[in-house]
Structure 1
């Protein structure tokens, strides 16, 4: 309670102090992005005329989400602080393959989602809201019913016409021969045409690590203006760096997902492994700030399921995990429904319909940390220096130009206290909390931070705040006026009672 009262007092003082951190204009750099991966069919039904295969009684069937529905919810995504969206595959798919990975024809759009013109309209509105749009392009495996698989002249375009996949809900798929130059050229032509026709900003190549790094070099050469992201599965940072070197602009941090989930599924777990992985990313990648960090994806169990298995409240767990992802180096990405703590095992169970009318507490918190990331260049582009790591308490420093931030995340079950030597900061300045309004000044050669259990704070190192006499005076006047008002009401009530 004392900390809450302190915050209520300090936040107005910060606003009056004239030292607030200023927001930057949106940068063209991709490491400034905050991404959102969405499954079109499960997001929003905006056009009932394309519901031919929809069966809302069967969760494994199409549910009706489409391009119009995504377009209608772009304002929601902008308010959530999202600057880029990655949409599930848009190509023609097997009947019932709502997820989009069972591609049957790259030359056709999935009619359940809409036309190219509707996708173009979506992209146009997104750009008006400063949101970039990327499309998931499955280029290494397709449906066993793909038109190429039935063409005898293209027999050498596949290494297998039916191969079991992981996760197993993908079923059997035809695996593309990515060593075949003709296949590569055909796929590049598809990518160029779709980008030219719709104005999308890039591609997310799902299962990109299923092809050799050299396979993607030609895509980079033919699509120089587009942002190309590769999904990595079961690879090390060093192996993934070869894909960045070959021409992909960014990759997903497959090595980070499991330790990140383990760390935040419950309390009192060490963050040492994730910290070391973050440091390794700084060493092995050309642009580690563009490495994409995700807690879950279209292929995984929901992260919320991990929390449920630990008998933990998912709201607090998600807050801790997302604060960490939004404030450490790299590009944070949220899989649709994470902001409402969707649950479920990999596959249909994890691909529930998005609910825009559920509890907003976590949504509001994400908006808050997204705004900090947008406003503070050090969170997007700054250096990273761990200061303290112990069984769930993580404290690190981010610096960029003249901006210094201290991030403290107490992922433990108890209130924690940590001290930072003044030589790490500046004894003539103070740390001001930007989430809860906490503050710390140097004393006896150190700054002291105290955090309640399952609480995080982002501190800005700023000039010391003097006593704001004008603000305090104004508050006194308000209180005195209010007390006079209450006294007058009381007197009138007493007189009225006396007349009766």
Structure 2
């Protein structure tokens, strides 16, 4: 059985590599913007325990307590994230906190001892940067623990606007509070040299003040990315809309659902204006997408595959929550923040890696000219185009085989479409169209290239798989004969 699975995996890998090799993919430019990136959103405590030296009162069986994940764990699993092709790893708040998810910070200067030291955070940032990945950290502007070092300082009593549920809200209109927050985040960026900041808990802060925070951070490090997980008119590098994850989950949680509103918040960016929107089908503060698809009596891994495809390939900044690639489940809160299980099936992990290898290698797939070809009840087809190349992405999120006809006027005469995952070749038919026919709940990416005839690389790949199979069969037969001979002695 293991032998059979190995042969199958080898065949798939070789054929996929052959498909990639037929495409003259445009290399990524040296200058990147946030639209070129993709975010893997995790919580340090829930990812991987790299050392036991900071396991203070840790209990991985109680979802409300610290589970042991730390900065050293991030370093230990760097290659795992790199394999999936993510370019930014968002690790949540890292400041001293009363809760595992960083939502009850008690300081803006001291790091959470469960996570590790300042040096260990720097080591993680350096290690990820060496693999062309950036680390992003949350910085909460308000709604912190009532035990926060500022809240317990009698001289700063005027800084507190209100208090509820064990948390305090700063008076963000107070100039002293504003300056203290700016100083704190600037000091953190200078000290850690982090590559991204996500400003959270904006608490309806004045846009002018938020822009002051952004400008102060960028004055320290001009290349740093700054986003938020709240709606704001401030000058963030990417927009956030609260209903985006609802739109996406309501399109992908089942088949044949209305998909016409999928571009609700990306139309301006598609038209060449504005900044990219953060695209996501769930986030760290919501129920898991897996829960929605399971409630629909659908097979979660297939649902997640289509959702991830749309999120990664539509114009914008993809934000994928950790554990989506292993169909992590749960309602919002600790149940959705399970400790990562690395001993699970890798099919979705491998798929994301293959998908992002294309996206990361092709500037056109990330930021090329966008055009809808079809968008009807879950069957989505669009084109990404530049002077160098043309791609067609098809997501059949319906319950039946579906098709879209591509005209020569769209892609030119004398062309053919080559599928990246199934190695399918599509040429013009008798009716004069390039017919793309896709089975239900399938995703394919086609590159438009000049008509070539026989796919030599594909044939060579098939021959190589046959040779490997024959070689292993010979080895097994010889071993069988040897064992029988030894028994007969």
Contact 2:141 / 2:199 at 8 angstroms: preserved in 1? yes
Give the one of 31, 48, 53 matched to 2:52: 48
2:287 paired with 1:287 = no
Contact kept, 8 Å, 1:192 with 1:222, in 2: the verdict is yes
Aligned residue for 1:161, secondary structure, equals strand
Paired with 1:375 and 1:356, the residues of 2 have a C-alpha distance of 27
Relative to 1, partners in 2 of residues 1:428 and 1:10: Cα closer, same or farther, differing over 3 Å?
farther
Matches for 1:105-116 after TM superposition, within 5 Å:
105-116=107-118
Contact kept in structure 2, 1:253 and 1:294, CA below 8 Å: no
SS of the aligned residue for 2:390 comes to: strand
Backbone CA RMSD of aligned residues: 3.0
- The unaligned stretches of length 5 or more in structure 1 are 1-6, 163-170, 494-500
Which has the higher mean CA deviation after the structures are superposed, 199-208 or 122-131? 199-208
Tell me, yes or no, if structure 1 residue 65 matches structure 2 residue 69.
yes
Which of residues 118, 121, 128 in structure 2 aligns to 1:119? 121
Q: 2:251 aligns with which of 258, 263, 287?
A: 263
Residues 91, 103 of structure 1: 8 Å contact kept: yes
Aligned residue for 2:332? 346
TM-aligned CA deviation for residue 142 of structure 1: 0.6
Q: Which residue of 2 aligns with 1:498?
A: none
Normalising by structure 2, report the TM-score: 0.87
1:394 Cα deviation after fit = 0.4
Structure 1 residues 209 and 403, CA gap change in structure 2 (3 angstroms): farther
Matches within 5 A, 1:231-310: 231-232=229-230, 235=231, 240=232, 242-243=233-234, 247-282=235-270, 286-288=274-276, 291-310=277-296
Q: Does 1:453 align with 2:440?
A: yes
Q: 1:198 to 1:172 in 2, by over 3 A?
A: same
What do the CA deviations read for 1:208-233 (whole angstroms, capped 9, x no partner)?
Answer: 3632322211122211122111112x
Q: CA deviation at 1:141?
A: 1.4
Counterpart residue number, 1:33:
37
Q: What is the distance in 2 between the residues matched to 1:432 and 1:281?
A: 28
> Cα 1:26–1:454, aligned 2, differ >3 Å: closer, same or farther?
farther
Distance 2:311 2:446 in 1: 16
Determine if the alignment matches structure 1 residue 313 to structure 2 residue 317: no
Separation in 1 of the partners of 2:14 and 2:182?
58
Match of 1:323 among 288, 309, 318: 309
Query: Cα deviation per residue 1:134-184 (whole Å; 9 max; x = unaligned)?
Result: 10111121112222223333233222122xxxxxxxx54211221112111
Show the counterpart of 1:21. Answer: 25
1:192 aligns with 2:180: no
Distance, in Å, in 2 between the alignment partners of 1:145 and 1:473 is 66
TM-score, normalised via structure 1 length: 0.85
Q: Does the 8 A contact of 2:40 with 2:322 survive in 1?
A: yes
Give 1:445 deviation, angstroms: 3.0
Tell me if the contact between 1:36 and 1:335 (Cα under 8 Å) persists in the aligned partners: yes
Q: Which residue of 2 aligns with 1:398?
A: 384
- 1:65-119 per-residue CA deviation (whole Å, 9 max, x = no partner) reads 111111111111111111111111111112xx11101111212111111111111
Q: Distance in 2 between matches of 1:104 and 1:50?
A: 18
Mapped partners of 1:446, 1:328: distance in 2? 25
Supply the distance in 2 between the matched residues of 1:9 and 1:92 (Cα, whole angstroms): 48
| Equivalences, count | 462
Q: Distance in 2 between matches of 1:12 and 1:215?
A: 50
Secondary structure of the residue aligned to 1:92 is coil
Distance 1:470 1:390, change over 3 A: closer
1:201 maps to 195
Structure 1 match to 2:6: none
SS at match of 1:334: strand
Q: Secondary structure at the match of 2:393?
A: strand
Question: Aligned residue for 1:221?
Answer: 215
Separation of aligned partners in 2, 1:476 and 1:300: 48
The match for 1:168 is: none
* CA–CA distance in structure 1, aligned partners of residues 461 and 152 of structure 2: 79
